[in-house]
Chains A and B, each alone.
Chain A
């Protein structure tokens, strides 16, 4: 076992220990990193491993958030029970979008655009339908009890996000080792060649998007329970789709740790630049400073490391 192989284990120990030593703010930031990594991994499965780039993954995120919230508020379900139901709803939406799109032969940018259209359609529906409360959004009553999927101490949301992130990493790890993952990579690299090898390309893509939808939907429920309020823009807004895509692209699409590295880097840059703008007296009123720095960093990362931050780790390993 090399020193590099020990890195994930050490990182896990550090992540578990963080809330015991770090202030609450850093715990919250850590929670955001793991949460972003989790929903980013959902994009990574379909976009990174299977090569089906989506611009509208918020459709799954929002489906999860709304399904569990409606089941909870309107039908009185316990949110823990509503969670798997939300994942199922996300998987079903993924299956429907995949079947409709791939039956029509949509690939590449056409598929990306159709997912964007679905997310927008769902947002407009959520804005219009009475059972989603339209633009008023849905407020989950604060009742901080673990049985209610609400915690008085934010540390538990941190550990939950960490757990979700680990599960998503295990799924990605399994994809790099199992037959399903190998078939997805084959589809990504060359659909015609994969078909010639006897792979049912359509079925594999449908499975990938359904799995991806279920994971993103789980993230939606987590979000709703953490912040206790959702509305159509929060749940189905294009910025959520971009966040999922961005963390994966910055970290490294089609890799196990890509979304986690991307989430770590982007959240870190965002928090650091915001802190800078509010602490340094000369920068206090330079409002968009954080966004400017964030944008520049993004350009540098994407420009210098087009395969993502994971490349850095590979280089280090090669030189070690």
Chain B
């Protein structure tokens, strides 16, 4: 007599499969439990207030980077831990920035990124120091940020001291190439920490390259009319106007000088807050031939160009805040990979020893000394035919500079 099989598999196979299935089902909560905890990253930017656009760009760059990292599998050395952004708005106020630090600390933040405005960054990073939490400066020009001896502060980009030195060298080379025709300058700067610090450096260093400073003009934020300053510049008849101010004032001053047809050999700004694609695309005539030494992406980097395309596809602009914040998130992710932990001590040690390659930027390998990256450098740019071209350093240059600029007819 043959035994009829009710199941198409043997009893032994059925039992083995059933056991495997049951153990799989029973073990699944353990698998879920094993999923690594997300690493919370505090993003503190002025997304409202008078520099809201810049803050929003920073937030966009940082959140894009976090999305990219999470899609790529998170932090591998931490079992694929995802980054979880905590969004904070400093409202351009010091006390609100500090309040955000406190709030995010309660939420278990592993590191902060911010804050665009140096005064907010100074106070917020100081507050983060109490908890020994890393604070990465994405944008913030003041060298005070990294000269206070705080062990938790790291800045990937160069400060205005380095930017001025590099811009000065580029200007000297340009001027010498034009038979040193520029002999005088007027400096126009915003009256805050960033503009004043930059203008002081410029005033002391310009004579060393044969350019005399005829006058230093400071203006408040916000300033909504530059007619008088333009008239003053016209009466002083300098060869160069050198500007150091935020977005709105930068654009307004440039437009006023253009409208009043103030003839100059060149406009040369340092960390010009308004020298970006928005300005160049919206006002190609005004911006034509203007030059700026600023944070800029490496135009020869494929990753930078790909990110630029993605950003522009969303109708946003590829401004320096965006790719600096993006790069700083990548720096943090790299440190997390090396630390293999979000433990603050380990993360601080990993950041201090970081050799991160900022692929979007024209930087050398990262090396932090007192929290300042020594590999960071600025680029000198020129607006040409409605686009922004890199004119120095030579290895990243995408165009040849036009200097002096043609006169108004």
Contacts and interface: CB of A to CB of B under 8 A. Distances in A.
A28 interface: yes
Interface size bucket, B side? 35 or more
A154 interface: yes
B99 A32 contact: yes
Contacts of B398: none
Given A32-B95, A135-B192, A135-B195, A287 B89 contact: yes
Contact of B87 (A234, A284, A291): A284
B301 interface: no
Given A137-B119, A139-B144, A24 B87 contact: no
The 3 tightest CB contacts between A and B, nearest first, are A135-B196, A28-B102, A25-B103
Interface of A: 23-25, 27-29, 32, 127, 134-137, 139, 141-142, 144, 152, 154, 223, 227-229, 231-234, 239, 271, 274-275, 277-278, 284, 287-288, 290-291
Interface string B69-105: 0000000000000000011110101111011001101
Nearest to B129: A142
Nearest to B147: A139
Given A152-B130, A229-B122, A239-B93, 8 more contacts: A25-B106, A32-B95, A139-B144, A142-B129, A228-B122, A232-B191, A274-B96, A287-B56
B48 interface: yes
Interface string B255-299: 000000000000000000000000000000000000000000000
B335 interface: no
B375 interface: no
Nearest to B60: A285
B98 A136 contact: no
Interface string B20-61: 000000000000000000000000000110001000100000
Nearest to B98: A227
Contacts of A277: 89
B197 interface: yes
A278 B52 contact: no
A154 B95 contact: no
A139 B86 CA distance: 28
Given A32-B95, A141-B148, A25 B102 contact: yes
Contact of A231 (B56, B119, B148): B119
A29 B144 contact: no
B87 A278 contact: yes
A291 B221 CA distance: 20
Contact of B47 (A29, A144, A233, A287): A287
B16 to A, nearest CB: 45
Contacts of B311: none
Interface of B: 47-48, 52, 56, 86-89, 91, 93-96, 98-99, 102-103, 105-106, 119, 122-123, 126, 129-130, 144, 148, 150, 190-193, 195-197, 200, 218, 221
Contacts of B190: 135
B88 A278 contact: yes
Contacts of B122: 139, 228-229
A101 to B, nearest CB: 24
Contact of A23 (B56, B88, B106, B221): B106
Q: Is the interface of A mostly helix, strand, loop or mixed?
A: helix
Contacts of A141: 148
A137 B102 contact: no
B105 A139 contact: no
B24 to A, nearest CB: 33
Contacts of B47: 287
Nearest to B122: A229
A287 B87 contact: no
A227 B94 contact: yes
A233 B223 CA distance: 14
A25 B109 CA distance: 13
Given A135-B196, A136-B196, A127 B89 contact: no
A154 B123 CA distance: 14
A234 B90 CA distance: 14
Contacts of B197: 135-136
Contact of A29 (B87, B89, B99): B99
A275 B197 CA distance: 35
Contacts of B150: 142
A141 B52 CA distance: 30
B52 A288 contact: yes
A237 to B, nearest CB: 10
Contacts of A290: 48, 89, 91
Contacts of B200: 136
A25 B86 contact: no
A227 B94 CA distance: 8
Given A25-B103, A135-B193, A227-B123, A233 B221 contact: yes
Contacts of A284: 87
A24 B106 CA distance: 7
B260 to A, nearest CB: 25
